[in-house]
Each structure stands twice: as C-alpha cells, then as structure tokens.
Amino acid sequence: MTTLINQNPVIYEASAQNSTREWREDDDNEDSTDPIDAQEIFDLIRSISDPEHPLSLEQLNVTQRDHITVSDENNSVLVEFTPTIPHCSMATLIGLCIRVRLLRCLPSRFKVDISVRKGTHQSEHAVNKQLNDKERVAAALENSHLLEVVNQCLATAT
C-alpha cells in the first residue's frame, strides 16, 4: 500500500447526519424562492469523502460553514477550504470535488469561486489558480479516470 500523505489526520465530530439548518415554513414549497445560504452550500459539500481517508470533509475540518460566503442576490459563492496539511497534494482534487458537487447541485446562475484558506497550503496560489480556471476544470472532467475518482468522493455526498 502506498504511504498516506497525512497518516494521522485530526478527526472532528460531524454534525447530525441531516442538515444542521432548522426547518423553515416554506421548505416543502417547491415554488418558493428561498435564497441559497452558506448553510445550504455547507450541507451540499460536508459529506464529500476525503480522497485519502474514509472520512468526510467535515470530519477532517476541511470544510466549515463559516468559511463559505454566499450572495444569492449577486449569484456568487465563495468556498474556502483547509487542507489537512500544508503540503497536501490532494488539495486540487478536493477543490475539484467541491466544484463538481456545486456544479451539479446549484442553479447555473451561480458563479462559484473555490480557494484554499489563506496560509493553509504551501502552493496556495497555484492551487487556487488551477481550481478557478474553467478550461482546466472542463478538461479535467473529460478525463474519465479523474472523473471516476471525483465521483467516488462524491458518492457519499448527501
């Protein structure tokens, strides 16, 4: 077996299996134009599996609700994530998984920016640039091997 990049990650307690967001009056009304908020984005991505460990991004504290900025009005979403270690070579893959998840679940009007949290990765600039280059993302998703890996990580997303 290959050596894990981070052999002993710190594990955090995940919130309840279901959404941590409180039920709202109009949740069952499909016609309602309930604005999308950070909690909703967090719920979409927190159960994505880490590419290395049988753990979710939430359990590894890679994603946190407070590191998500949403403006429904301006159709913009910014997700900042925290790699478990500063030299994590999986950072781009994790970011890609988050991007694909949101690509599949959010209305297409949203412009999504994804970046590693400032100061949490040694190649922060390079990782961010790659994750936000739509051409590279489009090409990556035509790579069947890579897409399979992404889909595996997304299989646990609920």
Partner 1 sequence: MPRLEQLAELQGHEDRVWCAAWHPTKPILATCSGDKTVRIWQATNAQDPTQWQCTGILEGAHKRTIRSVAWSPDGRQLATGSFDATTGIWEKDEDGNGDYECVATLEGHENETKSIAWSKSGALLATCSRDKSVWIWEVEEDNDFECLSVLQEHTQDVKMVAWHPTEELLASASYDDTIKIWRDDDDDWYCSDSLQGHDSTVWAIDFDPSGERIVSASADQTLKIWQRYKPGNPQGIVTPRRGEAVWKCVATVVGHHDRCIYSVSWSHAHGLVASAGADNTIRVFDIQDYDKEILTEEQIKATNEPGTLYQGVVLAATKNAHGTSDINSVAWYPSEEHGDWLASGGDDGFVRIWRIIRD
Residues in contact with partner 1 by CB under 8 A are 75, 108-109, 111, 129, 132-136, 138-139, 142
Q: How far is the CB of 142 from partner 1 (least distance, A)?
A: 5
Pairing of strands 111-116, 68-71: unpaired
Q: How far is the CB of 40 from partner 1 (least distance, A)?
A: 18
The C-alpha atoms of residue 117 and residue 52 are separated, in whole angstroms, by 20
Q: How far is the CB of 57 from partner 1 (least distance, A)?
A: 26
Between 111 and 118, CB nearer to partner 1: 111
Q: Which bin fits 119, alpha (ψ -120 to 50), beta or left (φ > 0)?
A: left
Between 5 and 149, CB nearer to partner 1: 149
> Kind and range of the H or E element at 67?
none
Between 13 and 109, CB nearer to partner 1: 109
Between 14 and 137, CB nearer to partner 1: 137
Give the length of the chain.
Answer: 158
3-class secondary-structure state, position 97: helix
34 residue type, one letter: D
Q: Which of 56, 76, 27 shows the shortest CA–CA distance to 156? A: 56
Q: How far is the CB of 76 from partner 1 (least distance, A)?
A: 9
Q: How far is the CB of 42 from partner 1 (least distance, A)?
A: 23
Between 61 and 71, CB nearer to partner 1: 71
Q: Which of 44, 106, 110 shows the shortest CA–CA distance to 73? A: 110
